[in-house]
Amino acid sequence: MENDEKKYEDVIKALNSLQEVKAPANFEADLQRRINSEKFSKEEKKGFWENIFLPSKLIPSLGLVAAAVVIFFIVDTNPEEMDNPFLIEPRVREDVFVIAEYEELEQKQEEFSKQKSLKKNEPIREKRRDEDKLKSSERDESTIENIKIEGQRNSLEGKKELGRESGDVVDVLTDDKDLPEDKEIVSGAYAVAESTIVDSLAVPQPTTATVTSSELVTGQIITKEELNFRQVQLTEEEQKTVNELKVHVQSVEKPNKSQK
Amino acid sequence: MDIKLRELSDEELILEFQKNNTEAAFNILVQKYKNPLTNFVFRFLGDYEACADVVQETMIKVYRYKDSYSSVAKFSTWVYTIAGNLARTEYRRQRRRNIFSINDYGEEHKTYDLPDESYRPDVITDSGIKDEIIQKALLKVKEAYREAVILRDIQGMSYEEISEILGVNEGTVKSRINRGRAQLQELLKGIYKE
């Protein structure tokens, strides 16, 4: 620290040698005057509320209040006017007051309910009609197809008469192998035959159902009794015998084919 | 009464003024501090009229806010702190005003360095002129360093008092004083050669 003071000795001397600047002669008088003027101004100063409620300053405050009131009425937050609920008159219900007697009211209600029910039923009836139409059109189509199948079948039967000595059931079973070109037609016949067997075995159904299935095959009405095979549930022994017969027939037919 | 008051220390006088609102005590303090404060503020600002205003403002603040003085601190420290704050505010205001007044005549956002024609080493004979040169050199020293140098080398205050007035620790005060002195030495080279 002493070294620093030695280092800057000249600067320190120069600063120390500066003449002292004195305050102006009227310093104290001026100060007193300023202090007094501040005191006076303090006394003159009035509070915030006093300023507001001075008569001369009431004008802006009143203006402000008036503006606030106007804004309040112009900018209405609730656009719908709220009526006093105690002063509102009740609504006049004409439907109650026009009908004088109870009977008339009942009659009207009945009429109204009838009209309603009619309106409700109309679409249902239309639906039923549509369904019936659809069913009839499907039947027509199926009968046409069945007639075609029957015609084809007859022509096939004419061709294959010679080779058929055993029953129709066996014929049908063997036809599947012998005539692959007519497979589709014969398989259709198989399906019908099998369906009739299953139908009869499973649940006894009314004759109308069988009639419809037979129609599919022949295009004519054929009852179950007219069909040329027995509708019996085979036991295991019977099944074996049938299988043996099948094998026998096949074995008989093979040499015939080879001879041809 | 007046004789008794004159025997009191500065702290006792301000306490008397605080408690009993004795204006005589305040007047004694004004008499005692008006010249040292004027000297301090003038060396800082370099403008006598502004300096007188600042000192008067300082005294008015002492008068108005006498209750804010606490007996823990020295009165001189308190009053110099007030004067220093006001002087700094005035100095910055003056500087802003100078910049704006120059900008009014020139391009915007462009400042000019005023040529210092008063400094003429060939005519340094009178002590008054020497004082002026030193004063101008002081005004060129950075604000914070200048205040510390004035308080130390012109007002003759201790480092402790200066640290209290400036609100910084003693180490900072010393470094500021040394840096201010170094700048001054650089600025006053011509005078020493003479």
- Cβ atoms of B175 and B161 within 8 Å: the answer is no
Asked if the Cβ–Cβ distance from A24 to B42 is below 8 Å, we say: no
- The neighbour count for residue B161, using CB atoms within 10 Å, is 18
Chain B hits for A45, Cβ within 8 Å: none
- Check CB contact of A29 with chain B, cutoff 8 Å: no
The two structure tokens encoding residue B178: 């040394």
Minimal CA–CA distance to B51: which of B112, B135, B114, B111? B135
Cα–Cα distance between A159 and A139 in angstroms, integer? 31
pLDDT surpassing 80 at residue A183: no
Q: How many residues does chain B have?
A: 194
B69-101: pLDDT as tens digits: 887 788 999 999 999 999 999 999 988 887 766
Task: Please compute the mean of the pLDDT values over residues A233-248 and round it to a whole number.
Answer: 88
- Cβ atoms of B102 and B10 within 8 Å: the answer is no
Quote the pLDDT of residue A257.
Answer: 67
Task: Please compute the mean of the pLDDT values over residues A149-175 and round it to a whole number.
Answer: 51
Quote the pLDDT of residue A179.
Answer: 44
Going A10 to B36 to B173 to B171, the CA torsion angle's sign is positive
To the nearest whole Å, the CA of B154 is away from the closest chain A CA by: 6
DSSP A192: H
This prediction's pTM: 0.49
Structural domains of chain B ordered from first start: 1-114 (1.10.1740.10), 118-194 (1.10.10.10)
Cα–Cα distance between B72 and B32 in angstroms, integer? 20
To the nearest whole Å, the CA of A60 is away from the closest chain B CA by: 34
- Check CB contact of A1 with chain B, cutoff 8 Å: yes
To the nearest whole Å, the CA of A67 is away from the closest chain B CA by: 42
- Check CB contact of A76 with chain B, cutoff 8 Å: no
A48-99: pLDDT as tens digits: 666 666 666 678 888 899 999 998 888 766 656 667 777 777 777 766 655 5
Contacts of A170 (CB under 8 A, 6+ apart): A245, A246, A249
The two structure tokens encoding residue A258: 């080879």
Minimal CA–CA distance to A171: which of A157, A182, A152? A157
DSSP B115: P
Minimal CA–CA distance to B138: which of B83, B90, B97, B91? B91
Asked if the Cβ–Cβ distance from A4 to B55 is below 8 Å, we say: no
Q: Which residue of B has its CA nearest to A11?
A: B185
- Cβ atoms of B41 and B20 within 8 Å: the answer is no
Q: How many residues does chain A have?
A: 260
Going B171 to B172 to B173 to B176, the CA torsion angle's sign is positive
Cα–Cα distance between B160 and B173 in angstroms, integer? 9
